[in-house]
Structure 1
Amino acid sequence: MRFLRIILVVLAGLALTACSSKFKTYNGPEITSVQVQKANRKMYLLHNTKVIKSYDIGLGGVPVGAKEFEGDLKTPEGVYYISHRNPNSRYHLSLGISYPNDQDRAHAALAGKAPGGDIMIHGGPPRKANGKPRKVSGPDWTAGCIAVTDDEIERIYAMVKPGTPIVILP
């Protein structure tokens, strides 16, 4: 009886460990594109024209208008692609967006400014040393990224592969 109890405790511990992983799996239809509607604060994961999943999002601190320059706190607008995955992101997990493209760099250069970069889809704000989430001021708190919850980025990270097109609309 005692041996059986030990086995059950070990199995329960393994089950909890498996559930706590931030790396999820996805077995549904391939996500062929991502669409972001900034005005509606929505992101859609699509298989061809069918919406597979939608998410409420947060944007850069200045959400209206396309990103032009480094530090403008705007989220880009246009057609990009998912450039890479970052499993060690400060923001739980993140997916890189290919901003800036050649057109973005040329536009910034004409103004004598840097276009900025390091734009991501990511989870919530980094945690404090005590493990608690940092406070954010309002729904649009990033420096130009697209933010979702930590639980949501875990699912998105599993579903969206590098090379997937992302269309960011005003």
Structure 2
Amino acid sequence: MKVIIHIAVFILSSLIATAQANTTYHRVDLVKVDKSARVMYLMAGEDVVKQYHIALGASPKGHKVKEGDSKTPEGEYILDYKKEDSQFYRAMHISYPNAKDKARARMLGVDPGGFIMVHGQRNGDRRDAKRRQRFNWTDGCIALTNEQMDEFMALVETGTRIHIEW
């Protein structure tokens, strides 16, 4: 009987080890946003871990310059903190404005704005999220469906770089 138990334990542990070896852990080290295609890529090295269709601000082309321009910033930023108590379903803050953005705004005599997030749908909005994602509806943020936002928050850690381009 002991021999059968030892064989069963050996077989089970071999199966578990094989399953673990075949499971690839992807640590997202970059979030890439292609505003022109309205697509976000979660990257682990050169591998695309996930891809999402996104909604942007109502005037997405070009770099955010000032508060209220409905543009999503372009460039390199950091996803610096998660926000669970937002007016939107979950959110992660983008470190806009950076020093360059602030200097540009100062030179132009405008407020650069801020509080740019990757977030889900507006809390209490009962409209179909997939249909809503066909339109650019944010004030300059990057929107996902709530289901996608749950996945995004699970896969992306604070401190992850985000690269946004047209």
TM-score scaled by structure 2? 0.80
Aligned to 2:151: 155
Distance 2:91 2:103 in 1: 27
Structure 1 residues not aligned, in runs of 5+: 1-26
Question: Are residue 114 (structure 1) and residue 111 (structure 2) matched?
Answer: yes
Aligned to 1:58: 55
1:56-82 residue CA offsets vs partner (Å, 9 max, x unmatched): 000011011110000000000000010
Structure 2 residues not aligned, in runs of 5+: 1-23
Question: Are residue 72 (structure 1) and residue 54 (structure 2) matched?
Answer: no
Question: Are residue 34 (structure 1) and residue 31 (structure 2) matched?
Answer: yes
Deviation at 1:134, TM superposition (A): 9.0
Aligned to 2:136: 140
- For residue 28 of structure 2, what is the amino acid of its counterpart? I
Distance 1:38 1:146 in 2: 9
Identity of aligned residues (%): 39
Counterpart of 1:49 (choices 33, 46, 49) is: 46
Q: How does 1:1-12 map to 2 (within 5 A)?
A: none
Q: Which secondary structure state, in structure 2, belongs to the residue aligned with residue 103 of structure 1? A: helix
Matched pairs, number: 141
Distance 2:133 2:155 in 1: 29
Aligned to 2:7: none
- For residue 94 of structure 2, what is the amino acid of its counterpart? I
Distance 1:53 1:72 in 2: 29
Distance 2:28 2:152 in 1: 10
Question: Are residue 124 (structure 1) and residue 145 (structure 2) matched?
Answer: no
Deviating above 3 A after TM superposition, structure 1's stretches of 4 or more consecutive aligned residues are: 133-138
Q: Would the aligned equivalents of 1:125 and 1:134 in 2 still touch at CA under 8 Å?
A: no
Aligned to 1:8: none
Distance 2:133 2:122 in 1: 11
- For residue 70 of structure 1, what is the amino acid of its counterpart? E
Superposed CA RMSD in Å reads 1.8
Deviation at 1:127, TM superposition (A): 1.1
Of Structure 1 and Structure 2, the greater helix share is in 2
